Each structure stands twice: as C-alpha cells, then as structure tokens.
C-alpha cells in the first residue's frame, strides 16, 4: 500500500535532507549537532537513492528512518540535558523543537508499524526520554540547579505523552473501523455467494444483469444472457447422493469458467441452473459460446466417473422489452431445448416467422414480424 506513496516519501525525504543541510551549514549548532546532522543528512541521501531505485520498499525505509532518527534525537536530548551550558548555544537546553521531532517520530511509528507494535515502540521511546529526563532532574535537584528547567521539561513531556495517547486512540479506532468494514464486506460476500459452488448467487446476478442491461442500453452495445441447466441432475443426487451432486455442480462451474472472458459474469441461478452474462456479445456469439461449453461438459468426466450433459437457452437484450422479459426469453429457450431432447443450445437468429419448427411465438413479445427462432445447435 505504501508503494503508491513512494513519490510523497521521496519529496519529504529530499525536503528533510535540504533542511538538515542548511541547518548544518548556517545554524548555531552544538558540538553534537555539528556531527550528527551531517551524518543524518548523508543517511537521508541514501534513502533518496533507494527510493529512486525502487528498492527496498517504502516500509523498510520508513523503519530505517525511524530507528536512525530516534537514536539521533535520543542522543541529542541526553547531550542537551547533561552538557555544560557553555557547550550549548544560548537557549537550547530545552527548546520545543526537540520534542516536536519526538512527536514526528511517534507519527512515523504509527504509520510504519501495526498498532500493537507501534504502541510498544512508542512506549519504549517515551520511557527512554522520561528516564533520561529523570536522571537529569535528579542531578539538577541534588546540585541545587535551576528547577524551572525541570518544570519546563515536565511540561514538554506531558504534551508529548498526550499526543502519543491521542495517536494510540486514533490508531485503535482506525483498526476497529477497518475490522467493522472487513466484517461487513465478508457478510456481503456471504450474502451474494452460493454456499455450494462459491459462485455469485441469484441475488448478485439480479444486480449484475440490471447493471449490464443499463450499460448496454446507454452505449448501444450488445448483451447476451445464457441460461444453463444440467440434464437429469436429480438422477445424480438420487444415485450418488447430494455430496457428490454438490461436487458435480462445483466442477461444472469450473468447466464453464474455463470458457469465459474476464468481462463475463457467471453464477448459480438456483438448483442445477446457472446464468452466464456476456456483455459485448450478440446472439450468435453467445450461442457459439454455449455450444463450446455444452461440448466440454459432454466430454468431461465428473467426480465418481459421472457423465452428464447440459442444455442452454440464449437471449439478447435488444429483443427484450425489459430485464424480466430478457430472462423469460432465455428461460423459454432453455425449456425448448429440454423439450427437444436436452444436450443442446437454443438461441436467437433472424428468420422469417414460423420457418423454424421450434420457433417460440409469444403474444405481446414485441417482436413484430421478426421470428423468435429457437435454433437448436445440437451435438
């Protein structure tokens, strides 16, 4: 996921490197910073090169940035607290910028690490700063130093702790929200999936058909629906049991999917009936697809050496008045294929009305003088 943010990380790293370079060259720095800042700048140059080369990944580089930055600023905190005043530029004993860097490091922690690990790492970083500050405060108190600095340190640490606590709350809230969304997605998938085959169920197919018809009408593209049915499937269940019947249904789904395009939709309509939704496909192309599947099924050896055939009904959206009419026509042609002897495809072709003996005339079908041809593509 972080790979797509590589350009942003690259820009941020370049900016940080430039800032460190300018501060190193022109800033009023302590001895520690004169050494540490150029070294960190060189490290960031290495990160920039790695980001431009594409290896390692952004997450690994963020890990490295955190650990190098954390070690550098923990060292800087210790130096500023324990170094003699004459070794520090004026006003740099307890400047806010140091604690802002610790806050930035904590943000990086919650970006890079999982929440639990981020909490542990942040706690370690915070505890380290507290330990260093406590040792310094003890020294100040025992040597009679200015206790106002101890109060300021406690204030900064309190603000730092508050920000880390907010990060923890936000991260956990985000995790809970993500879990809720994931659970909702899983429930949705279960609601739209057939429990036997894992294919989309009728509820999902109804949605997809509505969407596909709307798109076909909007752009004037062809669309075909194919209804498929396993012939005499009840005999399989009665002879071999429902467990084997379920395995036959699963294998049938695999056989069909091997003939489909990525743009096609396929699912279980109910019982032993299945639906193929083929966009950008006219009636003849859909009939040819159904014929290929029919032949594959006929020659396929199913579990327990079961042999089975299948029948198909094909309809196109341009001959139907509605989605319901489209499904009705495909279902009628599937029924006609069954009546004609099974193991065949009945689809649409333009013939003069009544020329085909299996022509399906339906009153109110909106066909006018065009024949509704149940063309048997038999084996």
Domain boundary among 189, 220, 254: 189
Do 326 and 368 sit in the same domain of this protein?
A: yes
Do 183 and 207 sit in the same domain of this protein?
A: no
Among 30-34, 103-107, 304-308, 374-378, whose mean pLDDT is lowest?
374-378
Compute the average pLDDT of residues 255-273: 95
CA distances from 45 to 38, 60, 90, 307, 321 (A): 10, 15, 30, 67, 66
DSSP class of residue 232? T
Whether 184 shows a pLDDT value over 90: the answer reads no
Q: Which tokens go with 127?
A: 């505890």
pLDDT digits (tens, 9 = 90+) for 278-300: 999 999 999 999 999 999 999 99
Count of the separate structural domains present in the chain: 2
Q: Are 262 and 191 in contact (CB under 8 A)?
A: no
249: in domain: yes
Compute the average pLDDT of residues 207-224: 94
Q: Residue 2: its pLDDT value, please?
A: 60
User: Residue 312 — φ and ψ, nearest 5°?
Assistant: -140, 145
Do 150 and 206 sit in the same domain of this protein?
A: no
Of the pLDDT bands very low, low, confident and very high (cuts 50, 70, 90), residue 207 is: very high
Q: Which domain holds residue 357?
A: 202-378
Among 53-62, 217-226, 297-306, whose mean pLDDT is lowest?
53-62
Whether 363 shows a pLDDT value over 70: the answer reads no
Domain boundary among 137, 164, 189: 189
Compute the average pLDDT of residues 169-197: 85
Compute the average pLDDT of residues 273-280: 97
Q: Residue 294: its pLDDT value, please?
A: 96
Q: What is the CA radius of gyration of the chain?
A: 36
User: Which residues are 278's β-sheet partners?
Assistant: 224
Q: Are 62 and 2 in contact (CB under 8 A)?
A: yes
290: in domain: yes
Give pTM, 2 decimals. 0.53
Average pLDDT, the chain: 85
Q: Residue 196: its pLDDT value, please?
A: 94
Do 80 and 22 sit in the same domain of this protein?
A: yes
Compute the average pLDDT of residues 122-134: 91
Do 164 and 238 sit in the same domain of this protein?
A: no
CA–CA separation, 298 and 300 (whole Å): 6
pLDDT over 90 percentage in the chain: 49
DSSP class of residue 279? E
Among 177-181, 269-273, 356-360, whose mean pLDDT is lowest?
356-360
Q: Residue 282: its pLDDT value, please?
A: 92
């Amino acid at each position: 996921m972080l790979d797509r943010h590589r350009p942003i990380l690259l820009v941020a790293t370049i900016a940080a490197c430039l800032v460190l370079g300018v501060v190193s060259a022109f800033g009023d720095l302590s001895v520690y910073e004169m050494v540490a800042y150029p070294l960190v700048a060189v490290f960031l140059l290495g990160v920039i090169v790695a980001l431009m080369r594409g290896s390692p990944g952004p997450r690994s580089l963020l890990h490295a940035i955190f650990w190098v930055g954390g070690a550098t600023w923990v060292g800087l905190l210790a130096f500023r607290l324990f170094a003699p005043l004459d070794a520090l530029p004026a006003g740099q004993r307890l400047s806010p910028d140091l604690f802002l860097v610790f806050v930035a490091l904590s943000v990086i922690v919650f970006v890079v690490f999982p929440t639990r690990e981020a909490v542990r790492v942040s706690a370690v970083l915070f505890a380290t700063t507290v330990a260093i500050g406590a040792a310094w405060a003890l020294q100040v108190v025992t040597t009679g130093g200015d206790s106002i600095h101890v109060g300021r340190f406690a204030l900064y640490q309190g603000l730092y702790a508050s920000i880390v606590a907010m990060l923890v709350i936000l991260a956990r809230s985000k995790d809970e929200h993500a879990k809720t969304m994931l659970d909702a997605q899983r429930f949705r998938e279960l609601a739209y999936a057939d429990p036997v085959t894992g294919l989309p169920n009728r509820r999902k197919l109804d949605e997809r058909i509505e969407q596909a018809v709307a798109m076909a009408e909007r752009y004037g593209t062809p669309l075909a629906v194919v209804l498929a049915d396993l012939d005499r499937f009840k005999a399989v269940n009665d002879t071999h049991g429902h467990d084997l019947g379920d395995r036959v249904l699963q294998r049938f789904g695999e056989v069909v999917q091997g003939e489909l395009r990525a743009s096609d939709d396929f699912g279980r309509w109910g019982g032993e009936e299945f639906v193929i939704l083929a966009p950008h496909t006219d009636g003849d192309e859909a009939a040819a697809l159904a014929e290929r599947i029919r032949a594959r099924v006929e020659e396929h050896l199913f579990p327990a050496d079961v042999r089975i055939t299948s029948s198909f009904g094909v309809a196109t959206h341009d001959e139907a008045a509605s989605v319901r009419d489209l499904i009705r026509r495909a279902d009628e042609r599937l029924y006609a294929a069954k009546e004609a002897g099974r193991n065949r495809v009945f689809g649409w072709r333009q013939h003069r009305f009544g020329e085909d003996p299996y022509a399906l005339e339906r009153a109110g079908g909106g066909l006018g003088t065009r024949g509704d041809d149940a063309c048997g593509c038999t084996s």
